[in-house]
Amino acid sequence: MILRAYRIVIGAIVTIPLVQPHPLYAADTPVPVKVTIDPTVVVATIPTDFVGLGYETCAVAQPDYFSAKNARLIKLYANLSPHGMVRIGGNISDHTRYVAGGTPTVKTEREVTIINRANLKDLGDFARATGWSVMWGLNLGTGSTDQAVEEALAVDAELGASLHSFEIGNEVDLMRKYSKNYDAYQADYTAYKTAIRAKLPRAPFSGPDSASSLPFVEKFVAAEAADMKLATHHYYRTGARTPQATLDYLLARDEAFIKKLQRLRELCEPRHVGYRINEVNSFYGGGKAGVSDTFGSALWCLDYCFTLAEHGCAGVNIETDINQLGFISHYSPIVHDQAGVCSARPEYYGMLAFATAGRGRLLKTSMPQKPGVNLTAYATRADDGTLYLTLINKDLSTDATVESPLPTGVTVVDAQRLHAPALDAKTGVTFAGAAVADDGSWTPNPPQLVPFANNAIRLDVPHASACVVRFKMK
């Protein structure tokens, strides 16, 4: 394979080798883009448990998956956050029965999944080993209040302080009984909550776990704001079987969803309630092979997480692992083989990049409205005062040369690259020059020093790549 060079331009040109992009995406002449950080304007604060993963409930019934013995998975979690959130639910939550001494069974949404007390104990041990909390979905679709109470008691007993909250029902706005009758849902939700609270007076709740209906969230928040932890909503770009399920479509800005985020923030902030996109990935239906499992998904994921943070979102649960159809989704950032050995797919590296820079306070950035390249920029200030600038070039063919004025007090600038051989690559993905090791650990290489002059940096961000720039202060 021929090597291509990217450049860091500060008066003189410094060349550093970079693997040539796939011929399908031949690069054009770099487009100059000026990005300015305003450290005085805070757009949002990113919660410490912002990063999360989401699972169908049947994942809990898998032997030795959620377990304190699953060292690889624990390390994969540790790379992302010491305090993330696991969401257990999905379509399978409405087709699950808790049987304390039953035999665990992993089924599709057409059958009944069985989880038992030992499964919940293992999940509790796993949560404590990772430091992550758990949001747990109860069966509203085919269950009863008595069954929900029994399950909630067992979940609470085994998870203890690791339990974040309960949800009642999954994607209730799509259920036939409720889709055109929110009041019926509210009545059943209240009945479940009342029955559970009779046994667990301090049981915490989130909801409504809407698939797409903003009115469901609006009505739920209006009714429950004083007695809920988070408002929850889902997002997929489109269905895996639709003609739009392409990398180009995935990487394009979703204006309709941006407007929904704006509305969610306007709805929740005055009521002092956070909102979380607690089930999300590229395309519903398990994702699309050759798109959802490629490097393009890492760039989408990184940009998506920052987009949520920019709109005051409390966090995100990237859907992963076995789905309601019975196979491990193509979009999964973490997968496991038949022996249960876990490994990272490309999307995981987008989460890694966000874990590095997506913390602390999100700051205001400015750049041209039409820069001529599909590039986004986000700035953050960590609690120790370090500034980060994340540059994401989702363009299929156009490189960018970014110039950014130095914030006051900067003494050293360095960078870590999110890179792969091609946008559609399934292997060879790295962040900070390093891949995730077979044991689940990840050790970044030393960052690349970025020279600066005339109170500014200039660096190339090739198409189909991203870069996290760190500004060290005095």
How is 166-209 classified by DSSP, letter by letter? Answer: EEESSSGGGSTTTTT-HHHHHHHHHHHHHHHHHH-TT--B-EEE
pLDDT score, position 474: 72
> Is residue 250 helix, strand or coil?
helix
C-alpha of 404 from chain center: 27
pLDDT score, position 24: 33
Whether domain 49-357 has CATH 3.40.50.300: no
Q: What digits encode the pLDDT tens for the residues 150-187?
A: 999 999 999 999 999 999 999 999 999 999 999 999 99
Q: What digits encode the pLDDT tens for the residues 286-302?
A: 999 999 999 999 999 99
Across the range 320-336, mean pLDDT stands at: 98
pLDDT category at 366 given cuts 50, 70, 90 is very high
Across the range 27-52, mean pLDDT stands at: 93
Q: What percent of the chain has pLDDT over 70?
A: 94
Give the pair of three-digit tokens for residue 167: 């949800």
Q: Is the pLDDT of residue 246 over 70?
A: yes
What amino acid is encoded at 242 in this protein? Answer: T
Map out the domains of the chain as residue ranges.
3-45+361-473, 49-357
Distance CA(227)–CA(221), nearest Å, equals 9
pLDDT score, position 28: 58
Phi, psi of 427, deg, nearest 5: -135, 170
Distance CA(301)–CA(390), nearest Å, equals 13
Name which of 13-17, 228-232, 275-279 the model is least confident about: 13-17
Q: What digits encode the pLDDT tens for the residues 91-129?
A: 999 999 999 999 999 999 999 999 999 999 999 999 999
Contact 57, 140 (CB under 8 A): no
pLDDT score, position 240: 98
Cβ neighbours for 439, distance < 8 A, ≥ 6 positions apart: 71, 72, 75
pLDDT score, position 29: 84
Q: How many Cβ atoms sit within 10 Å of the Cβ of residue 100?
A: 12
Name which of 14-23, 110-119, 139-148, 290-299 the model is least confident about: 14-23
Comparing C-alpha atoms, which of 385, 357, 359, 347 is closest to residue 469?
357
Fold classification of 3-45+361-473 is Immunoglobulin-like (2.60.40)
Q: What residues are paired with 235 via a beta bridge?
A: 280
Q: What percent of the chain has pLDDT over 90?
A: 93
Q: Is the pLDDT of residue 26 over 50?
A: no
Higher pLDDT, 142 or 4: 142
Distance CA(273)–CA(268), nearest Å, equals 5
Q: Is the pLDDT of residue 19 over 80?
A: no
Q: Is the pLDDT of residue 324 over 50?
A: yes
Handedness of CA 287, 290, 291, 295 (dihedral sign): positive
| Arithmetic mean of pLDDT over the chain | 94
Across the range 268-279, mean pLDDT stands at: 98
75 by Cβ neighbours in 10 Å (0-12 / 13-18 / 19+) ranks as middle
pLDDT category at 418 given cuts 50, 70, 90 is very high
For the chain, helix, strand, coil in percent to 5 are: 30, 35, 35
Q: What's the pTM? A: 0.93
Higher pLDDT, 422 or 17: 422
